[in-house]
Amino acid sequence: MRDIDRFKGVIPPTTTPFTQEGALDLGTFRKQIRFMVNAGVHGVCVGGSTGEGHTLDSDELRATWEAAAEELNGRLPLVAGVIINSTRQAVERCSIARQAGAVALQVTPPYYVFKPSEDALVDHFRTIAQESGLPVIIYNVVPWCYLSPALLGRIMREVPQVIGVKQSNGDLKLLADLLAGLPDGKLVLTAVDALLYPSFALGAHGTIAANPAAVPAMVVALWNAVQRGDHATGLALHGKLLRLWNAIFCDDLPACVKYVQSLQGVPLSHPRAPMRLPDEARRRRIDEAFAALELAAAA
């Protein structure tokens, strides 16, 4: 297996469990890792946006990365999510991730309101890759610092350690353009949650996204169906996953993902304030969509 093949397939981003007071709940976090491993996933990503990574300080990130590495024990790759605004801060956190046991990085462009130039962004990711010594996946999600397919291709060609991109825009054409112009030996992972099936059918190499975090077994079933060419099953699973996505998609998405996980045996935990758990109306909507998944049949 090529090293890059380790990062293909379904790599759900973990949520970060908090107590009502906002402290880390590492016991529940470890149970979540075991839940994902038992679902047949191909890796996990810790510290991304579904994990409220922008709210975590360096010590909290270290604690979650170390706990995940211990639970995985080398069986699956640990991808560390880094959401930060400066090259210096990114290098610091990426160093912590490597020490904690991560084998790759998922890094956003700077996410605050000032967009660097294209040359500056190339240098940003070059420095992160060189200083960390780890493979880097660009998390292309920041609206005011969105990277075009052409710029992503340039970064991947000029910085060999950047192995791919996680494409998060809902426009499937952008995903298709990325795949069409992808340099040899690089990856495109989809985070187009509503369109995982067509993303896989187009040739996306896997996914890191919220729906896989919510129902990892169902998304693994979808991935496996497309890989074996069973598009009838893939389309049927797509319809059920789309209904769930429409039920959980909102500004409090990580909290909704936690609620869906709780329906599968992961203890329900709080998001970090000011985010709140879903209200009764949204819970009813999620319950109805979840019941329609028929998870036992999908697994």
Closest to 179 (Cα-Cα) out of 193, 158, 198, 159? 198
Determine whether 166 is an active site residue: yes
Rounded to an integer, what distance in angstroms lies between the CA atom of residue 245 and that of residue 217? 15
Q: Is 208 annotated as a binding residue?
A: yes
Strands (E), 12-144: 44-46, 78-82, 104-107, 136-140
Q: Is 96 helix (H, G, I), strand (E, B) or coil?
A: helix
Distance of CA 103 to the CA centre of its chain: 15
Q: Is 33 annotated as a binding residue?
A: no
Candidate list 166, 186, 240, 258, residue with the active-site label: 166
Kindly report the number of other CB atoms within 10 A of residue 68's CB atom: 27
Closest to 163 (Cα-Cα) out of 125, 199, 201, 196? 125
Candidate list 111, 112, 115, 139, residue with the active-site label: 139
Catalytic residues, which ones?
139, 166
Binding-site residue ranges for pyruvate: 50, 208
Binding-site residue ranges: 50, 208
